[in-house]
Amino acid sequence: MVPERLKPVIDATEELGRRFAARSHRLYLVGGVVRDALLDRLKATSDLDLTTDATPDQTKAAISGWADAVWEQGARFGTIGFQKDGLRYEVTTHRAEAYSPDSRKPDVQFAGEVDADLWRRDFTVNAMALSLPDLTLHDPTGGAADLASKTLRTPLSPEESFGDDPLRMLRAARFIAGYELVPDAELVKAVKEMADRLRIVSAERIRDELDKLIQLPQTSAGMWFLVETGLAGHFLPELPALALEQDPVHRHKDVLAHTIAVVDKTGPDKILRLAALLHDIGKPRTRAFGTGGVSFHHHDVVGARMARERMTALRYPTEETDQVAKLVELHLRFHTFRFGWTDSAVRRYVRDAGPQLDRLNALTRADCTTRNQRKAEELAARMDSLEERITELRHKEELDSIRPDLDGIEVMKHLGIGPSKAVGEALAFLLELRLEEGPLDKEEAYRRLDHWWSSNKP
């Protein structure tokens, strides 16, 4: 009897299995879908990976007339992709690929048996296959036992596995964090010795793997793995640089431990998580010691610039880079209003945060990692108060689209001037009024403009 958790997958592959069997080809579900099925963590079926002894041409013949759409871009690597009833499938011919030392692109060699394919995979927990249609588990590397014991191992020696594909070292962090696996000693040793092999991996591939890690529910175990093995130093050196004491006299927790804790306290939103990861990277460059202890003046501004540089190096889109840099730059703004929130202060806070307001508030809350219950409650209460004030002003004003009470055309017509620097200065004056005092009616706005113009006209 098929376990209930496997039924959606079996239903999605039953006809496909029959088509391959009718042509005397073997077909297997492989990788993550098998792993997650054994853990009862199988999500809604959307993408299915399969492996077969059929060649790409034979695979195309098996799905001809059945698949809704077929794509062949990966055919030279043995992969045929297709779609059926809204589901995406990738069928790959068994591979026993080999890599050159200075490249992560394989010289593909096809294999005749599934076991040879499984031995070349990244980790034992991903090296299991379920044959179709008879549902026999193939597990030559002991992946099921490793899942049960929560162990992360490579099928081949870790040196050979990471030599083949250095990105696997970074991928290990994701499986450590996402599946609560403990890397065996040989794996850790190999990563420490081979971390510099990441140099042959493209920035885009590293970025994509980092994104997968930081969007897990909990990331801390993976983050510590990256730092302690030396991997982070090769693509995100600002992270291990945070391992400094905030206060050498009282030995408060270092900035690295704080940062990793902040990341886990935020929700798994990519932009928010990146901002949490980078929010304090300006501290090492701004640390100073004085009579009052250690300080990090302007680490928000310095950190925003550093975050922009690092994200650019990792090939993040400009929009995402701008969003994260803005959050890093503003992450201390809340604390400048510790003596109360005037209407003007609330307007400026909302204006400066713009579309990142909710993320900024979430980052501010997460940034409190103190064990002092009184301080934590005080900060939470102040944030609650701010959000209540924002809600109140939103009911009274167009708080999310603050702009001058007059537009440029109205300013030029009223003052009798054409497009010029003076128009911009007038609008800046009116915007300051709007922020300080809230909305003005047209008559009052014109009166204030006249007064300003009498003192500032050329």
| pLDDT tier, 251 (very low <50, low <70, confident <90, very high otherwise) | very low
242: pLDDT strictly greater than 70: yes
**What angle (nearest 5°) sits at the alpha carbon of residue 339, between those of residues 351 and 295?**
85
Contact (CB, 8 A) for 78 and 56: yes
> What does the pLDDT read at residue 147?
96
Contact (CB, 8 A) for 260 and 369: no
401: pLDDT strictly greater than 80: no
> What does the pLDDT read at residue 99?
54
Q: Is omega for the bond preceding 183 within 30 degrees of 0, making it cis? A: no
Q: 265-284: per-residue pLDDT in tens?
A: 999 999 999 999 999 999 98
Distance CA 428, CA 434 (A): 10
C-alpha distances (whole Å) from 403 to each of 74, 90, 435, 452 are: 52, 52, 9, 18
Residue 138, both tokens: 């193939």
Rounded percentage of the chain residues whose pLDDT exceeds 90 = 53
> What does the pLDDT read at residue 396?
65
Contact (CB, 8 A) for 280 and 303: yes
pTM of the model: 0.81
Give the mean pLDDT of 7-13: 83
Residue 191, both tokens: 């990563």
> What does the pLDDT read at residue 89?
94
Distance CA 169, CA 191 (A): 6
> What does the pLDDT read at residue 386?
86
Residue 110, both tokens: 């096809």
More confident residue, 250 or 409: 409
> What does the pLDDT read at residue 339?
59
Listed range (15-19, 28-32, 69-73, 426-430) with the worst mean pLDDT? 426-430
More confident residue, 457 or 169: 169
Give the mean pLDDT of 310-316: 97
More confident residue, 295 or 306: 306
> Across the strands, what pairs with 289?
294
> What does the pLDDT read at residue 252?
46
C-alpha distances (whole Å) from 78 to each of 108, 129, 334 are: 8, 17, 54
Chain position carrying tokens 């790409």: 56
More confident residue, 1 or 379: 379
Q: Is omega for the bond preceding 101 within 30 degrees of 0, making it cis? A: no
* Count of CA atoms in the C-beta half-sphere (13 A) of 452: 20
> What does the pLDDT read at residue 325?
97
Residue 229, classed as helix, strand or coil, is coil
> What does the pLDDT read at residue 444?
83
446: pLDDT strictly greater than 70: yes
**Phi/psi class of residue 354: alpha, beta or left (left: φ > 0; alpha: ψ in -120 to 50)?**
left
Give the mean pLDDT of 129-156: 94
More confident residue, 453 or 96: 453
Residue type, 326: K
Residue 205, both tokens: 């591939």
116: pLDDT strictly greater than 60: yes
Q: 199-221: per-residue pLDDT in tens?
A: 999 999 999 999 999 999 999 99
> What does the pLDDT read at residue 95?
83
Distance CA 151, CA 437 (A): 61
Q: 330-368: per-residue pLDDT in tens?
A: 999 888 776 567 888 888 888 888 889 999 999 999 998
> What does the pLDDT read at residue 346?
84
245: pLDDT strictly greater than 60: no
> What does the pLDDT read at residue 248?
47
> What does the pLDDT read at residue 1?
52
The overall average pLDDT reported for the chain is 87
372: pLDDT strictly greater than 60: yes
> Across the strands, what pairs with 245?
254
Contact (CB, 8 A) for 110 and 55: yes
Q: 51-79: per-residue pLDDT in tens?
A: 999 999 999 999 999 999 999 988 888 89
How many CB atoms lie under 10 A from the CB of residue 410? 17
Give the mean pLDDT of 288-303: 79
